[in-house]
Amino acid sequence: MTVTDDPTPARASDRESDRRHHVHGQTDLSAHERSGPTAVVVGGHGVHLTTDDGRELIDGFSGLGCTSLGYHNDRLAKAAADQLATLPYAPTFYGRSHPGIARLAERLTAMAPDGLDRVTFQCSGSEATDAMVKFLWARNVARGQPERRTLVSRWRGYYGNTVASVSLSGQPHMHARFGLPLPGFVKTLTPNYYLDHVDGETEEEFSARMAADFERVVLDEGPDTIAAFFAEPMQSGGGAIRPPDGYWPAMQAVIREYGIHFHVDEVVCGFGRTGNLWGSQTWDLRPDSMTCAKALTAGYFPMSATLFRDDLYRDLEANSDEVGVLGHGFTYSGHPVGAAVALEALDVYDDIDLVGHVRSVSPGFLAGCEALADHPLVGDVRGVGLFCGIQLVEDAASRTLFDPARRIGTLVQDLAHDRGLYLRCIAPDRISFMPPLVITDDEVAEATSRLAGALDDAWALVRAGNA
């Protein structure tokens, strides 16, 4: 099967229809009401996107961190089309199944960190997080510990946008005006060494302080009330924050000391982003449960997975025996098209040695990013694999941030777009740079060059007093 090279035709009225009727998430609604969409994407090939005005952009953010194989992959398109023609839908309620989901369950649990041999499927990382929250609460009821309901996570962490998952997330703008977070969702500090270290404090000393704050939260809440600690190996929604040296050993020591269930969110880090199959491998994490999504299907179909150990399954089984069923599930759980696409994506990853490719191009990518560290607008650059965060500052020596009202990060993001590079700015003025994992060395060089140009453009505006 061949996917057409021609982009989907865009009607002249599409922008106006979008402006009038489409409510966008994570968007300035007043600005959208005035001006309509900032871009209308009509096609893509490799790591490039095509917009309705004929522009071609390098995708520097992998869609939303999901298009690991880029765009226009014939194998994934064929897998989806073949499955649609054979079995477009099948429920997994009432013990019913289909071959694809059984094979994917076997494949994923074999790939997962040791002991995660049970899996349930959803459509998004948010739903995967919600499922885990419910399962933990149910597990503790089964164990006669219903008071274990408190969930600990980090400020700036991100685990989804449903009511429970966004309560777990440490994103204040996603809580404001929604009456969130829910009670029982508590936070510890973000390990942003650059912005938050005390002068003279080493990364290891900073990490020990982060772990001490985590322990303080546990003791303040009461260890017997803690259901779990949720964390990403490297924070994504917080702005691509790489953990400092010593952070994860110090945090896992607290986890072990108090017997806390450790849930690792691999929604962004999983399937090669950090130079290993799992971010857990990159930082030697020992999860008791895990979620993955995004690159599970390379962004070609909405699907996520929640994996956990057999002991948690046995507790769910005990509840099921008492109630009659596991009172949980989604209509599209284990969708056959999603399973087919995921299985094919995993085959492609193996066939092209995707992790090996990431390791091959990562040095050039990180070097290109780190070369920006001396730019007048840049205070810090930290990354791993094909995942990098760039902190913009008004003054690097004092680590002084720009006034948020100046929206300097958004300015750089928009100027990069003008130069043909799609990026994402995350408060406070952090550029998150994470291209599709199939990007080549030449494309990396072009992408980092375009980012450097956008920084120069922004600096010229700042110096002229126009930003």
- pLDDT for residue 375: 98
Give residue-wise pLDDT tens across range 75-93: 999 999 999 999 999 999 9
pLDDT bin (cut points 50, 70, 90) of residue 72 is: very high
Q: Average pLDDT of 317-340?
A: 96
Q: Residue 219: CB partners within 8 Å, gap ≥ 6?
A: none
CA distances from 71 to 214, 273, 304, 355 (A): 41, 17, 20, 18
Does 4 have pLDDT greater than 60?
no
Predicted confidence band at 11 (pLDDT cuts at 50, 70, 90)? confident
Structure tokens given for 15: 């922008």
Q: Does the pLDDT value for residue 107 go beyond 50?
A: yes
- For 459, phi and psi rounded to 5 degrees? -65, -40
pLDDT at residue 9, rounded to an integer: 66
pLDDT of 2 strictly over 90? no
Q: What is the mean pLDDT of residues 367-396?
A: 98
- Please tell me whether residue 360 adopts helix, strand or coil conformation: helix
Task: Return the DSSP state at 194.
Answer: H
Q: Please compute, for residue 413, the number of CA atoms within 13 A of its CA located in the half-sphere on the CB side.
A: 19
Domains and CATH numbers, the chain: 14-72+354-463 (3.90.1150.10), 77-351 (3.40.640.10)
Which tokens is 38 given? 């900032």
Task: For residue 45, give both structure tokens.
Answer: 């090939």
Arithmetic mean of pLDDT, 21-31: 93
Residue-wise pLDDT tens digits, 178-198: 999 999 999 999 999 999 999
So what's the pLDDT on residue 413?
Answer: 96
Q: Where are the alpha helices (DSSP H) in 373-466?
A: 408-418, 441-463
**Residues in CB range of 276: below 8 A, 6 or more apart:** 282, 355, 385
**CA-wise closest residue to 95 among 326, 321, 260, 422:** 326
pTM (2 decimals)?
Answer: 0.95
Angle at CA 414, nearest 5°, toward 358 and 361? 10
CB contact set of 217 (below 8 Å; sequence gap of 6+): 152, 186, 187, 188
d(CA 284, CA 168): 23
The predicted pLDDT at position 443 comes to: 98
